[in-house]
Amino acid sequence: MALGCLEIKHLGLMPYKESLRIQEQLVLSRRSGEVPDQLLMQEHPHVITVGKSSSEEHILMTEEQISDLGINVFKVGRGGDVTYHGPGQLVGYPILDLKPNRKDLHRYLRDLEEVLIRSLAVLSIEGRRRDKMTGVWVEGRKIAAIGVRVSSQWITSHGFSINVCNDLSYFETIVPCGIKDVEVTSIANELGTKITIGAVTRIVVQEFREVFQTNVECDPQ
């Protein structure tokens, strides 16, 4: 799926509300042609996001318990169920114009999975898809989630997250992606050694470039 020009923004550890504001602004700017396609790479402080397909039953703690853990909760306009983001997890938000010849949501989701599967392969981790489920798995353990929104003008927002070196115990506050009894894992867990967000960011950006056949303007620092 060839895109052309892509601008990468490294936003560091950014509160979810601020990141959502930036996404919304860039969607408008991309729709008007003021900016090229974008890829926002970042981490978030502890946050639970609730997608359009989510049930309140998939948050397993009370509001008070969630607040005591320092977790914010946001209802968002993306597909998918409930998920968690936090420090040590890499989050990517592509803001892409899929017109005129890339208007295929299924293909877009599979391409995002392919980016993550290839990134894991660079680290000698075998990531796989699962039938009728979106995301990436390692021997039945979920390591990456995907939840996107595509506007009526075919501009994408929201995106993917991959567990790098985050505290996985926070996933116990939810039913991840609405899948009961799912086990989650991280790159650090699978490797049995430390790894940095920066190292994984460089790999993911490179694989995004390969899968989407882009000309990257801003390489990772």
Query: Mind telling me the catalytic residues?
Result: 177
Q: Distance between CA 133 and CA 131 in Å, rounded?
A: 5
Residue 15 is encoded by which pair of tokens?
């509160």
- Stretch (H or E) spanning 66: helix 63-68
Helix (H) or strand (E) holding 28: helix 16-32
Query: Which residues, in sequence order, are bridge partners of residue 184?
Result: 142
Q: Which of 211, 41, 198 is nearest to 121 (CA)?
A: 211
Q: Which helix (H) or strand (E) holds 201?
A: helix 197-212
CA–CA distance, 119 with 127 (Å, rounded to integer): 9
How far is 187 from 77, CA to CA, in rounded Å? 28
